[in-house]
Chain A
Amino acid sequence: MTTLFSGGDWSYDSLERSYQAIEAIALGELGLEIYPNQIEVITAEQMLDAYASIGLPLMYNHWSFGKQFAHNELLYRKGARGLAYEIVINANPCVSYIMEDNSMAMQALVMAHAAFGHNHFFRNNHLFRQWTDADAILDYLAFAKGYIAHCEERYGARAVERLLDAAHALMDQGVNRYQRKRRTGPQWSEARERERRAYAEASYDDLWTRTRPHAPEPPRARPDAPAPDEALDLPEENLLYFLEKHAPRLAPWQREILRIVRQLAQYFYPQKQTKVMNEGCATYVHYRVMNRLHEQGQLSDGGYLEFLHAHTAVIFQPDFDDPRFGGANPYTLGFEMMRDIERICREPSEEDRSWFPDIAGCGTPMEVLRDAWVEYRDESFLLQFLSPSLIRKLRLFELTGEEDEPDYLVAAIHNEQGYQKIRRALARQYDVSLHEPDIQVVGADLQGDRTLLLQHQVYDGRRLDEADATLVLHHIARLWGYPVVLLEVDAASGATWRRLHCHQPDS
Chain B
Amino acid sequence: MRIFDRRRNPQGKSLANRQRFMRRAKRQVTEAVRQASSDRSIRDMPGEEKIVIPADSLHEPRLRHDPRTGQQDGVLPGNKHFRQGDRVRRPPEGGGSGGREGSPDGEGEDAFTFVLSREEFLDIFLEDLQLPDLMKKSVTRSEQVSYQRAGFTASGAPTNINLLRTMRNSLSRRIALRRPGRGEMAELEREIEAREAQLAEKSEAENDPELIALRARLERLRRRAREIPFLDPLDLRFNRFEAVPKPVTQAVMFCLMDVSGSMSEEMKDLAKRFFTLLYLFIQRRYRHVEIVFIRHTHRAEEVDEETFFYSRETGGTLVSTALEEMRRVIDARYSPADWNIYAAQASDGDNMTADGPQVAALLEKDILPFTQYYAYIEVAGGVGELLRTRSNLWQTYAPFSESHANFAARRVAKRSDIYPVFRELFTPETERA
Contact = CB atoms under 8 A, between A and B. Distances in A.
A460 interface: yes
Interface in A431-471: 435-437, 439, 456, 458-469, 471
B66 A409 contact: no
A94 to B, nearest CB: 10
Contacts of A133: none
B98 interface: yes
Contact of A413 (B61, B84, B87): B84
A413 B79 contact: yes
Given A77-B115, A396-B79, A70 B18 contact: yes
A481 to B, nearest CB: 19
Contacts of B72: 399-403, 408
A200 interface: no
A397 B75 contact: yes
B202 interface: no
Given A408-B87, A462-B71, A463-B69, A61 B17 contact: yes
Interface stretch (A42-50, A223-231, A250-258): A42-50
Interface residues of B, number: 62
A468 B62 contact: yes
A36 interface: yes
A161 B20 contact: yes
Nearest to A68: B17
B79 to A, nearest CB: 4
A61 B14 CA distance: 9
Interface in A3-21: 12, 15-16, 19
Interface string B15-29: 011111111100000
A429 to B, nearest CB: 6
A39 interface: yes
B73 A399 contact: yes
A494 interface: no
B102 A326 contact: yes
A475 B6 CA distance: 38
Interface stretch (A283-291, A295-303, A414-422): A414-422
Interface in B35-79: 50, 58-66, 68-79
A52 B14 CA distance: 9
A46 B65 contact: no
Contacts of A320: 76-79, 97-98
A63 B1 contact: no
A42 B6 contact: yes
Interface stretch (A124-132, A166-174, A176-184): A166-174
Contacts of B19: 66
Nearest to A15: B3
Nearest to A415: B84
Contacts of B310: none
B77 A394 contact: yes
A98 B90 CA distance: 43
Interface in A469-488: 469, 471-472, 475
Contacts of A171: 62
Interface string B294-335: 000000000000000000000000000000000000000000
Given A437-B63, A468-B63, A74 B113 contact: yes
B79 A397 contact: yes
Contacts, number: 264
A465 B87 contact: no
Contacts of A395: 77-80
Contacts of A16: 3
Contact of A39 (B1, B59, B89): B1
Nearest to A51: B14
Contacts of A461: 69-71
B429 interface: no
Interface in A30-56: 36-43, 45-46, 48-49, 52-53
Contacts of A93: 2
Contacts of B209: none
Contact of B77 (A52, A165, A170, A319): A319
Contacts of B85: 409-410
Given A397-B79, A401-B71, A61 B20 contact: yes
A310 interface: no
A67 B21 contact: yes
A426 B74 CA distance: 7
B71 A402 contact: yes
A407 B91 CA distance: 9
A426 B75 contact: yes
Nearest to A409: B87
Contacts of A321: 78, 80, 97-98
A63 B4 contact: no
Contacts of A466: 66
A410 B114 contact: no
A437 B65 contact: yes
Contacts of B89: 406-408
A223 B124 CA distance: 57
A65 interface: yes
A460 B70 contact: yes
A66 B75 contact: no
Centre residue among B4, B65, B85 by max chain A CB count within 10 A = B65
Contacts of B5: 40-41
B406 to A, nearest CB: 39
Interface in B87-120: 87-90, 97-98, 101-102, 106-107, 112-115
17 contacts: A38-B1, A40-B4, A63-B23, A64-B21, A66-B20, A71-B112, A115-B1, A169-B60, A317-B78, A321-B98, A326-B106, A398-B74, A403-B70, A405-B90, A410-B84, A410-B86, A466-B66
Interface of B: 1-7, 9, 11, 13-14, 16-24, 50, 58-66, 68-80, 82-90, 97-98, 101-102, 106-107, 112-115
Given A161-B20, A172-B64, 12 more contacts: A45-B14, A65-B21, A67-B112, A67-B114, A71-B113, A319-B77, A320-B77, A396-B76, A399-B75, A418-B84, A463-B70, A464-B66
Interface of A: 12, 15-16, 19, 23, 36-43, 45-46, 48-49, 52-53, 61-67, 69-71, 73-74, 77, 93, 97, 100, 115, 157, 161, 165, 168-173, 317-322, 325-328, 394-403, 405-415, 417-418, 422, 425-426, 428-429, 435-437, 439, 456, 458-469, 471-472, 475
